[in-house]
Amino acid sequence: MSEATVIVRFDEYGELTYHVYGDARLYIVDERAPDDRVYEWLSRATADDIADLIPVGAVIGNSRDERAPVLAHRIRAAIDGKPHLTVVDDDA
């Protein structure tokens, strides 16, 4: 692992963690906290930490592949605390 990397991870329970490796800066902007709205994440992960999260040879999706709409839906559901599977009305 040689390039700067930022990983935002949702675990199986929807809990969120941040992993920063190398010369990257991660800012968290929280509009719910107007007096402390911008926070810089200073903790750094090791190359081994990143390899544990993304093993060599893992398939990595992106916003232009065929699975992007499915993955985006799952991420939005996790952020909103909703299940990623929902009942769809037949008329929809």
**What does the pLDDT average to over 72-92?**
79
- The Cα 25–Cα 18 span in angstroms is 11
Tokens of 85: 């599977």
Closest CA to 4 of 56, 40, 50: 50
Distance of CA 49 to the CA centre of its chain: 15
Q: Which pLDDT score is estimated for 78?
A: 86
Given a cut of 80, is residue 44 above it in pLDDT?
yes
SS3 state at 49: helix
For the chain, the domains span: 5-59, 61-92
Q: Which pLDDT score is estimated for 1?
A: 61
**What does the pLDDT average to over 7-16?**
90
Question: Would you say the pTM of this structure is higher than 0.85?
Answer: no
